[in-house]
Structure formats: C-alpha cells, structure tokens
C-alpha cells in the first residue's frame, strides 16, 4: 500500500435617499475571538478517554483506549477564525469488535491540523470548532495492522471546547480512504470515500484555556 495516498448575501420617502440607501454596502458582522492561555508559548497538552469510531451506518469499526495530543492555542485577540492547531498525537493501538488490531498515527505531511472557530455560546462558555478543515488536512491516519485491508485518514473533525471544564470533545469526522498498490480503494464494505463517521472522544486540556468570541 502506498501511504502517500493517505498523504486531499427601505425604502425611504425621498428618492435621493432611497438611491443612496440601496447603493450602500451592507455591514458585515465581525467575529472577534479571544484566547487566554497561561502558557506564554501557546502550548497545550490533552489526554482523552476512549475513542469510539463508527461508520455512517453505526457499525463499530474500532475503539482506542485513549488519545494523547499536543498543540498550540496562542493567547490573543483576532478577527480571523484560525485559533491554533493540534501538532502531535501519540501512536495508538486500537481494537475492532472481532479483536483485530488497528493502528492510529498523527501526521502533518499533507497539511496542518488547524482549529477553526465556528461559533461561541456565551451562556455555556462553549466554542464549536472544526479541526483539520482543509481538504488535504490530516488529523489521524488509521490502518489495520494485519493485511492492510483498510487504511484511512480523518479530517474536518467536529469538536466543542467548554471553558468551565477544559473539555475538548470530538463528535464526527470525515474520511479519506487509502489505496492499494493497484490504485483500488481500501476499506471496501466498511467505509466509503468522504463519508462522515462517528469519532467520539473527550480530551482534558492542560493548562485551562479560555476561548470566547463577540460579534459586532
């Protein structure tokens, strides 16, 4: 198997005023993001509970005991939605329901695993994020240990971060399938290209970081 395939929108009374009003550009809302991180270099580490991976039909693919990741969420205020990135995740061993072994590994070879802020709920202190929202971004690469019958990478991972608990929760991800040496897609009967899978786990982030946003 070639792993390189892993590594893609008033009317007013006076006509003159009406014309001016219609020609004026609409005010675009601006979201200002603020990150507070006690680490001056922006670094964080995160350890999760079990990772559960299911395909779109709800079939269990495998579970992993834990994920240990690290990255950067630099302190500061910005009007861009790029907040930081996961830069590394330890090699993990996972297990399918039939006992088959899977391996998971982080790679940044095809693009940074960026955090993009999507929305903020001030009532709950929760931010909705996407991790790895570039087409060729890679979060994690998974493959069967024996036989190389299935290999895929995750991207566009939907996550939430809650300030009060420092909890970074992943819910779903999209998959890109690996190919065999003959160019055929792997994971036949288990996964399909670009499907959205359940990718459920919850990290505890250290140090306690605070993410907020205002719209003006």
pTM to 2 decimal places: 0.84
Q: Give the mean pLDDT of the chain.
A: 87
Q: For Cα atoms 184, 185, 188, give the angle at the middle one, nearest 5 degrees.
A: 115
Q: If you average pLDDT over residues 57-65, what whole number do you get?
A: 97
pLDDT at res. 93: 96
pLDDT at res. 20: 43
* Segment 147-179, tens digit of pLDDT: 879 999 999 999 999 999 999 999 999 999 999
**Is pLDDT at 126 greater than 50 in this prediction?**
yes
* Segment 177-190, tens digit of pLDDT: 999 888 999 999 99
Q: If you average pLDDT over residues 68-96, what whole number do you get?
A: 94
Q: Are 90 and 46 in contact (CB under 8 A)?
A: no
**Residue 172 CB burial class (10 angstroms; 0-12, 13-18, ≥19):** middle
């Amino acid at each position: 198997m070639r792993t390189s395939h892993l590594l893609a929108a008033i009317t007013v009374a006076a006509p003159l005023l009406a014309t001016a009003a219609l020609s004026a550009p609409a005010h675009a809302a601006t979201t200002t993001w603020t990150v507070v991180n006690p680490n001056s270099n922006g670094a964080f580490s995160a350890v999760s509970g079990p990772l559960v991976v299911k395909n779109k039909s709800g079939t269990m693919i495998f579970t992993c005991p834990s994920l240990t990741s690290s990255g950067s969420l630099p302190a500061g205020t910005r009007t861009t939605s790029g907040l930081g990135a996961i830069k590394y995740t330890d090699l993990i061993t996972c297990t399918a329901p039939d006992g088959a072994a899977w391996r998971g590994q982080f790679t940044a070879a095809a693009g940074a695993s960026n955090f993009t802020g999507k929305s903020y709920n001030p009532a709950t202190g929760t931010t909705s994020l996407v991790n790895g929202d570039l087409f060729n971004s890679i979060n994690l690469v998974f493959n069967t240990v024996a036989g190389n019958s299935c290999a895929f990478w995750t991207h566009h991972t939907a996550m939430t971060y809650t300030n009060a608990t420092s909890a970074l929760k992943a819910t779903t991800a999209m998959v890109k399938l690996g190919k065999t040496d003959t160019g055929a897609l792997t994971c036949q009967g288990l996964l399909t290209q670009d499907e959205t899978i359940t990718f459920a786990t919850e990290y505890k982030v250290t140090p306690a970081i605070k993410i907020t946003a205002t719209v003006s």
